[in-house]
Amino acid sequence: MDIKEFIEKFAEIFDDTDAASLHPDTKFRDLDEWSSLSALGVIALADEEFDVELSGKEMRSANTIQELYDLISNK
């Protein structure tokens, strides 16, 4: 999966955020819809799409969508 596909899957976690508004350098925690439930959605995405277990600590180390993608894809 490339970063574009990852952003599309990432956008599906949110109700009102369009994938076209997201970019690799987007700081995901600054999104209006970001919440602890969104974080759980990202953890589930990592598990379902990449077969990777992502911890909360690892999530906190990432600031942008690109950093999150790199973290997941390098595991």
**What is residue 27's predicted lDDT score, i.e. its pLDDT?**
98
**What is residue 47's predicted lDDT score, i.e. its pLDDT?**
96
Mean pLDDT score, 1-29: 95
E strand map for the chain: none
Cα Rg, the chain, nearest whole Å:
11
In tens, the pLDDT along 27-72 reads: 999 999 999 999 999 999 999 999 999 998 999 999 999 999 999 9
Distance CA 55, CA 23 (A): 23
**What is residue 66's predicted lDDT score, i.e. its pLDDT?**
98
In tens, the pLDDT along 19-36 reads: 999 999 999 999 999 999
Distance CA 63, CA 56 (A): 13
Q: How far, in Å, are 59, 64, 73, 75 from residue 28 at the CA level?
A: 11, 6, 17, 20
Pair of tokens at residue 64: 């942008």
